């Protein structure tokens, strides 16, 4: 028996999935976003939603959400409902609002964390 044949699945190196298509757009602020259609190593397609947050050294810290193909229909149906809600309730950026970067050294997430749940 070959020792490499006996390795458990967890010990084997993880193969990266194939990127089929990427769409990228910039935030009004410093963030960048990407949407990718990918194919996992087992062949299952998925959608990656990626947010890139710039770091002081010129790199980006990335956060991503994976939505698997079996959930595409529910995702897009829900997004259609969200879009309709936003349109029907005239939810827009307030007039005169503009992006103002934080200057106190805290990230946007840190500075707005205390505001969650307040009306």
Nearest one of 50, 3, 56, 59 to 24, comparing CA atoms: 50
pLDDT of residue 105: 56
The full set of domain ranges for the chain reads 16-90
Is the separation of the CB atoms in 34 and 50 below 8 Å?
A: yes
Please say if the pLDDT value at position 63 is more than 60.
Answer: yes
DSSP-based three-state secondary structure for 12: coil
Which tokens go with 3? 């020792």
pTM listed for this prediction: 0.65
- Beta carbons within 10 angstroms of residue 37's beta carbon: 15
The alpha carbon of residue 8 and the mean position of all alpha carbons in its chain are separated, in whole angstroms, by 31
CA distance 68 to 115: 32
Which CATH number applies to 16-90? Answer: 3.10.450.700
Is the separation of the CB atoms in 65 and 51 below 8 Å?
A: no
- Higher-confidence residue of 5 and 88: namely 88
pLDDT of residue 10: 55
């Amino acid at each position: 028996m070959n020792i490499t044949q006996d390795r458990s699945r967890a010990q084997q190196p993880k193969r990266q999935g194939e990127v089929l298509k990427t769409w990228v757009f910039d935030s009004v602020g410093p963030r960048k976003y990407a949407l990718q259609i990918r194919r996992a190593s087992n062949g299952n397609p998925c959608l990656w939603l990626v947010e890139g947050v710039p770091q002081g050294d010129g790199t980006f810290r990335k956060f991503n959400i994976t939505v698997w193909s079996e959930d595409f229909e529910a995702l897009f149906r829900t997004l259609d409902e969200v879009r309709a809600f936003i349109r029907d309730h005239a939810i827009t950026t307030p007039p005169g609002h503009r992006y103002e970067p934080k200057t106190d050294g805290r990230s946007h997430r840190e500075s707005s964390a205390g505001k969650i749940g307040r009306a």
